[in-house]
Amino acid sequence: MENYLFACARISALENGLIGREKLERLMAAPGIEKCVELLAEYGVDVKRDPETNAFLREDTLLWRLRRAYAEVQDGTEDAPFVRIFRWQYDCNNIKAAIKCVKRGVDPAPMMFDFGNLEVPTILSCAEKNEFELLEEPFASAAREASDAFSKTGNPQWVDLILDRACYAAMLADAGTNAFARQIVVQKIDLTNLLTCLRLLRMKSGEAGRLMLRDALIEGGELEKDVFETAYGEGEDFFWETVGHTDYASFATGMDSATTLTEIERAADNFWIGAVRQAKWLVFGEEVLLSYLATVEYEVRNLRIVLAGVEAGLSPKIIGERIRLNEL
């Protein structure tokens, strides 16, 4: 059980069904959503439709694909903590939405994902009562702090900052002592901090931006806070030069002040998934399973962008600018 031999063998077979570059490009070029649905079925995706209208249910289809991937891994690992790592982002989204919507008197249901580690009804009940003890730590304390901060300031940004910290803390906790799991979470933290610093640099907010940066930086990465604070003070050219002397040098290659944020965010995502996918060459171990889960998350994100773009009638070129086309 230690190395999850059976689970890894099963996942190796499922890898062949992943939707990579070539299949995504066929979807982007489809003349309409029904052609996309035909292609998804051809790719082995279990397409969901409304039983009454027969309309394609995009989110139901994508979440089912995620659920199946996680079920495959969970069944072979007896619900090991590392399987929960990527699901905390859904809990983070749900708690943010619940707190903001309840405070504003808006229905949060359309913004909730029924795919986290915490039950959606529990999150909604906690937000409505403004009592968060039923949530798992670190979210209980973070949700309480975020709710209080929102009530005092009226600024929803505080909700995001506080809960993002809790999300990454939960991910690190479930990574435990596994070197690979910790590495990919730490990389995610570093890349998030790098992008935060860059966005604030481009906003040219001066001292206000520096204070915001201190509040926004997430603990747990390899890059120290003073790296970002120094880069913020010296400007974007210095920022890219600094990144070029870190483990993220390949991400920074060719980047400068003329590179759009969209291009930079896509490069950051591709850098991360590229590092995660190195584990696919291993025969067994938690690394193989984590790599698969990360890849399915990545795949579903791309599918969501492509399907929404086709439904909206966007051109393949415009859709292609929004997705991450790293070869899976």
Q: pLDDT by residue (tens digit) across 254-267?
A: 888 888 988 899 89
pTM for the complete prediction? 0.87
pLDDT at 154: 87
Q: pLDDT by residue (tens digit) across 78-97?
A: 778 888 999 999 999 999 99
Question: Is residue 13 very low, low, confident or very high in pLDDT (cuts 50, 70, 90)?
Answer: confident
Place of tokens 């027969």: 54
**With 0-12 CB in 10 A as exposed, 13-18 as middle and 19+ as buried, what is 288?**
buried
Question: Is residue 283 very low, low, confident or very high in pLDDT (cuts 50, 70, 90)?
Answer: low
Contact 2, 78 (CB under 8 A): no
Q: pLDDT by residue (tens digit) across 107-120?
A: 998 889 888 999 99
pLDDT at 1: 46
Provide the 10 A C-beta neighbour count for residue 101.
19
Angle ∠(69,70,75) on CA atoms, nearest 5: 105
How many CA atoms, within 13 angstroms, populate the side-chain half-sphere of residue 100?
A: 17
Q: pLDDT by residue (tens digit) across 171-194?
A: 999 998 888 999 999 999 999 999
Angle ∠(51,56,59) on CA atoms, nearest 5: 105
pLDDT at 328 over 60: no
Helix (H, G, I), strand (E, B) or coil at 248: coil
pLDDT at 8: 80
